[in-house]
Amino acid sequence: MNAQTSPGKVSQNALAAEERLVREDLAALYHVFFDLGWCEHIYNHITARVPGPEKHFLINSFGLAYNEVTASNLIKIDLDGNKVVDAPGRVNAPGFTIHSSVHAARDDAHFIAHTHTTAGVAVACTDEGLSHHSFYGAMLYEQIAYHDFEGISTDLGERERLVKSLGNKNYMILRHHGLLTCGRTAAEALFRMTVLQRACEVQLAAAAFGKGWRPLPEEILRRTTRQMQSEIAKGFDEKTAFGQDSFEAYRRTLDAKGSRYRD
């Protein structure tokens, strides 16, 4: 006999199938970030909320390199840091502090990516923060949140302040620390990190000239950001979700070289 479910509720089998897809997407993200060099050996973290009302989320097992992360070895934890299912491995404490705060506060932030790239940290150390006077920076005009450095993020008391700094934005520069992006999907979080990372790289390269920026008019900055927001809303070609084509191209590359992220 088929299992019956209450009206308006999703069956446990359906939730398990959805979680499997989230696990594969998140594991793929780890491998993409590894290939792009957006990881600091074992010390960074990307997370994904598990479907369901409990706000459980998945995080990498501390000690694994990004290219060792698989769908099955991701650890599922609750907002208090407890393992939902017994699994080997442990959770990076700063990773829990940062990601649990956002997952608790933002229902739309299903995927959260955090990096310590050289370009990202360099920009995070400047007084002015991100310059918007480039192709990439212009897409992010008035879209960036900033959070002041409080030391290594092991103090759970920082969570409230971090969420307040982020607000409803999907891009954040953690001063003296690194970058963070949010997305409804893995593709969104990846695409946003790509734009933010490229903006930081261009800013760092331009600074090497030792000359001032050629400024863009505010009208152009606002127009470029509106264009970006419009593309996010419609998914560029109105057929695929924002950034999904790019993410799928990365996954095909992973599959072609025999990556075991799906395991």
Show pLDDT as tens, one digit a residue, over the chain (263 residues): 343 333 444 455 656 899 999 999 999 999 999 999 999 999 999 999 999 889 999 999 999 999 999 999 999 999 999 999 888 899 999 999 999 999 999 999 999 999 999 999 999 999 999 999 999 999 999 999 999 999 999 889 999 999 999 999 999 999 999 999 999 999 999 999 999 999 999 999 999 988 878 999 999 999 999 988 876 666 555 555 678 999 999 999 999 999 999 99
Alpha-carbon distances, residue 98 vs 2, 46, 152, 165, 236 (angstroms)? 42, 10, 10, 12, 30
- Cα–Cα dist 234/214, whole Å: 31
Residue 89 lies in a domain: yes
Residue 186 lies in a domain: yes
Q: What is the pLDDT of residue 175?
A: 98
Q: What is the pLDDT of residue 4?
A: 37
Q: What is the pLDDT of residue 3?
A: 39
Q: What is the pLDDT of residue 37?
A: 97
* Cα end-to-end span (Å), the chain: 31
Q: Tokens 């992360």, residue?
A: 69
> Other C-beta atoms within 10 Å of 149: how many?
12
Q: What is the pLDDT of residue 87?
A: 84
Residue 178 lies in a domain: yes
How is residue 244 written in tokens? Answer: 């999904």
Q: Where are the alpha helices (DSSP H) in 84-242?
A: 93-105, 118-124, 135-138, 158-166, 186-207, 218-234
Angle at 71 between CA 67 and CA 74, to 5 degrees: 85
Q: Report helix, strand or coil for 122.
A: helix
Residue 69 lies in a domain: yes
Residue 92 lies in a domain: yes
Q: What is the pLDDT of residue 8?
A: 44
pTM of the model: 0.91
Question: Domain tally for the chain?
Answer: 1
What are the tens digits of pLDDT across the range 23-34? 999 999 999 999
Pairing of strands 111-115, 45-49: antiparallel
Q: What is the pLDDT of residue 194?
A: 97
Q: Write the CATH number for 247.
A: 3.40.225.10
Residue 118 lies in a domain: yes
Q: Tokens 């800013």, residue?
A: 203
Give me the residues paired with residue 46 across strands. Answer: 113
DSSP letter for each residue of 83-94: BSS--SS---HH
Answer for the pair 117, 197: CB distance below 8 angstroms, yes or no: yes
Non-local CB neighbours of 41 within 8 Å, separated by 6+ positions: 65
Pairing of strands 144-147, 45-49: unpaired
Where in the sequence is the domain holding 73, given as residue range(s)? 13-255
Residue 75 lies in a domain: yes
Q: What is the pLDDT of residue 24?
A: 97
Q: What is the pLDDT of residue 242?
A: 78
Q: What is the pLDDT of residue 213?
A: 83
Q: What is the pLDDT of residue 212?
A: 79
How is residue 21 written in tokens? Answer: 């897809």
